[in-house]
Amino acid sequence: MKHIILFLLVSLLCLGLVSCGSEKGENKETDGQSDSGTAAEETLAEEPTPEKKSALPEGINPNDYDVFVQFDLPENFRQAAVDYMKKMATLEWTPLVDYSFGLNRENWKYTFELKAGTTYTGLPYSSGNRAYDEFIKNINENGGKFFDTTPIEEMQQTGNNMKTWGVECNSSTNAAIQQFSPVAKAVARQYMPSFTDEFIGKVLGDIKVTPGLRRTEQIVAENDADAIYEGYAQLKLGDIIMTKNEDSGLCHVRMISVEPEVARNGAGRINPSRSFVKCVEQTDAFDQNRNDGVLTTWRVDKMYTFTELYTRNYLPITLEVYETNISVIPYLALDEAPTAETLAKGSINGTLSSDYPIQYCYLDLYNKDGDLVSRVAQHERNGVFKLNLRKYNYSLFTKDIVAGDYTFVVYAGLNCGGAELCRIDFTYNG
């Protein structure tokens, strides 16, 4: 029997499960006469405008899958993005054991030494791009403490950004946007308007952008300062400001958490030193300006004047999805659920798929006493849209797994949430 899971039913206000097409209105009865034309013309004129609503991707039918988990879309996309950023920024957690990691490039260096028993606030800084829910899952499985499962040799690399558990400035922004849209799923080049093939946003204001420029400094320089300031003035909740130098590899991405306060002179020109926005952002250093004992790399509602943003070559970016507040509904699906019969032979069938990047997938094996005896934890830095479970047969059913009774569990997640997809009791033949 097919198992369809409807997860957090979509808001009735605007996010119902419908097609993107229109519903035709009923024709009014008429005597065949009108002042403005024929009855047919009147009927056409009164037909309602098609109402677009969020929906599953075209061609996706939950009944085509053995398991289908559907997630709710937030009611207000802008607020949802900021709320998710702040959720990541304010999580309090403690390491189970001491661990350290860092980066040692010529123009970019940092080191973190995290201590067991110490409380930290906000997800750690890392390019590992771990989802908030996966981080919480880790804490729950380790008695309320976080244990970083990244191999030690990876933490101690000096040439590449560390892929320990956590998020960086760009990936945290992506995770926030993935609460309602899969469009943000790559590195920071996607927010650079001069990279026309990769850019996913819209530049605010009347800012000229020459394709191919590699530094936001170049874009700022080819525009009048007032044009840049006017772009800042149009920023709204959830919008993005970014500065980038593709040649050095340095960039930074911030999300607007409080809309601009704009000061103008008598002629209507913006006074940049008295105009400001507030942002939420992930950084690569603990906040040394705090005197409350909080250890965090995050800045929440930090104020920046337009002068500061202009000096550091920030560009104001928005997303089309903010204008429509309409998007595809997130889902996780298994086309063919594993069965007790196939698992008895040590075979895992089925393909996991989604319309949003799949951030993690756990294939777990528990013995009859409920102890975890084998696990395959799949994670990709920028997520994947399909995952063939069959290729993990030998990784899960190792030579240490003897014949007997077991429970097999599949748990997977997107940045907007995770779900248990199946739990199957079976007897392994060995």
CA dist 348 → 88, 309, 340 (Å): 34, 52, 10
Helical packing angle, 132-141 and 77-90, nearest 10°: 30
Between vectors from CA 150 to CA 172 and to CA 417, what angle results, nearest 5°?
A: 40
Tokens of 116: 């067991």
| E-only strand ranges, 54-164 | 67-70, 92-93, 99-104, 109-114, 120-121
* DSSP state for residue 379 in the 8-state scheme: E
pLDDT tens for 133-176 read 999 999 999 999 999 987 765 655 544 445 789 999 999 999 99
Which pLDDT value is given to residue 381?
85
pLDDT of 17 strictly over 60: no
**Overall average pLDDT of the 15-30 stretch:** 35
**Which token pair is 64?**
């085509």
The confidence score (pLDDT) of residue 151 equals 72
pLDDT digits (tens, 9 = 90+) for 234-249: 999 999 999 999 999 8
pTM of the model as a whole: 0.86
Q: pLDDT above 70 covers what percent of the chain?
A: 86
pLDDT at residue 162, rounded to an integer: 56
Quick one: average pLDDT of 58-82?
97
Residue 110 pLDDT class (50, 70, 90 cuts): confident
Write out the two tokens for 216.
Answer: 């936001």
Query: Residue 380's pLDDT is what?
Result: 85
Residue 152: the pLDDT is 62
On the CB side of 185, CA atoms within 13 Å amount to 18
What is residue 45's predicted lDDT score, i.e. its pLDDT? Answer: 53
Give residue-wise pLDDT tens across range 297-350.
999 999 999 999 999 999 999 999 999 999 999 999 999 999 999 999 999 999
The alpha carbon of 417 is separated from its chain's Cα centroid by a whole number of angstroms, namely 10
What is the C-alpha to C-alpha distance for residues 364 and 395, in angstroms, rounded to an integer? 11
What pLDDT, on the 0 to 100 scale, is given for residue 36? Answer: 38
- Is pLDDT of 47 > 80? no
Distance between CA atoms of residues 234 and 308, nearest Å: 17
